[in-house]
Structures are given as C-alpha cells and as structure tokens.
A = this chain, B = another copy of it.
C-alpha cells in the first residue's frame, strides 16, 4: 500500500514496472469475467500473469483493489456504451430511439474486444460485491432513466406512472438474460455472439418490447 502510494505520487508516466502491473490487469480481466470475483484466486491470476503471489498486494493493495481496477474500467466502457446507445437515433421517435438503443447497446457490449465486460457485469449482478452500488449508480441508473423516458413517451404517460418502471424492468431483464443467463443460453442455440446473431437478438427484443409496451396502453394504471 505504501509502495503503491509512493509510486503513484512521483512516477506517473512510463513507470518501470509497467509490465507486471499491466499483465496482472489483463489476466484479471479475463479471469474475473469468466468466473466472477469470489471464484478467482490471487494465485490463479498471478500464475497466468507469470507474477509472484505478492505482486497483487504490492500493486493493488489486495485482491479487491485489483478487482476494482478491472471493474472501474468496465464501468467506464459501459458508460461510453450507454452514451453511444442513447445518442443513437436522436431526433427520431421514441420507438425509433428505443430500437436504436437496443441495437447499439447489444452490439457494442457483445463485440469481441469488450465481450469480457458483459460477463463481468453479469457476475457482479448475480452475486454482488460491495461495488454493485457503484455499478448501479454509474451505469444502470442512467440507462434506466433514459429507458423510462422512452417508455413514458411511447405510452403517452408520465414517467412516474407505475406502468413505466415495470416495462423498463421487463426490457432491461431481457438484455441481461440474453447476454449472460446460463439457462437462456441452453435454450437459444444461436446465441453465439457473432454480429448477425446479435442483430437478430436485438431485433427480437425491440419488437417484443415495443409490442409489450404498446399493450400497456389498454391497461388501467392501477
């Protein structure tokens, strides 16, 4: 911890230990994404990174410090993705924007270089660490708010109408499940992650969700 602090203090650029630090983060990305925080051991990561067991504690102050470094990166990418997906279809109708959001989001988060992110997030949501609050605040909540505004516009009601949030949950859960749910993966054979498969999935979720939302117009607001 003291070493880390000193290092961050006056060796900002071109640190001489860049290699091990970076190798640990790299391996941690794939390992944490594959098995989740609790299942991964520091010895696994160090072995994969060809580093000593003590390296993680030295560079990151502990296992959780390393995880946070990886997760914070994921959060940043997710925020970018959300921003891009929210910007998509700007100027169009609420339905068009919802379709664009789903398509852009699924593509971005499912693309190969970032595919570890959706796995990591899936694990974090399935069995959360204490970092879930940050994830919710920084990426989920804004996304939910945006989806809520779209749903409200499609329904032609206020965002506070309780039908809105229920619909948002229904849409949101389809994202999550289609991406990471092991049961869903056993049911849909063509969930391979390639671009065409993602396109079809996005198309379905959009069609199904918009159909579901529209149907709520004829339901009393309770």
Binding site for B on A (CB under 8 A): 36, 38-39, 125-128, 132, 136, 140, 144, 162-163, 165-170, 172-174, 176-178, 181-184, 186-188, 190, 200-201, 203-205, 207-216, 219, 222
Contact = CB atoms under 8 A, between A and B. Distances in A.
Ranked nearest first, the 5 interchain pairs of A and B with the lowest CB-CB distance are: A211-B215, A173-B177, A208-B212, A126-B126, A212-B212
Contact of A188 (B125, B165, B176): B165
Contacts of A166: 188, 201, 204, 208
A214 B207 CA distance: 10
A207 to B, nearest CB: 5
Number of this chain's copies in the complex:
2
Given A126-B126, A169-B184, A211-B215, 19 more contacts: A38-B38, A38-B39, A125-B183, A127-B127, A132-B182, A163-B204, A165-B188, A166-B188, A169-B178, A172-B184, A173-B173, A173-B177, A177-B177, A207-B216, A208-B215, A210-B215, A211-B211, A211-B213, A212-B212
Nearest to A178: B169
Given A173-B174, A177-B176, A183 B216 contact: no
A191 to B, nearest CB: 9
A183 B125 CA distance: 7
Given A38-B38, A211-B213, A125 B222 contact: no
A207 B215 contact: yes
Contacts of A38: 38-39
A88 to B, nearest CB: 21
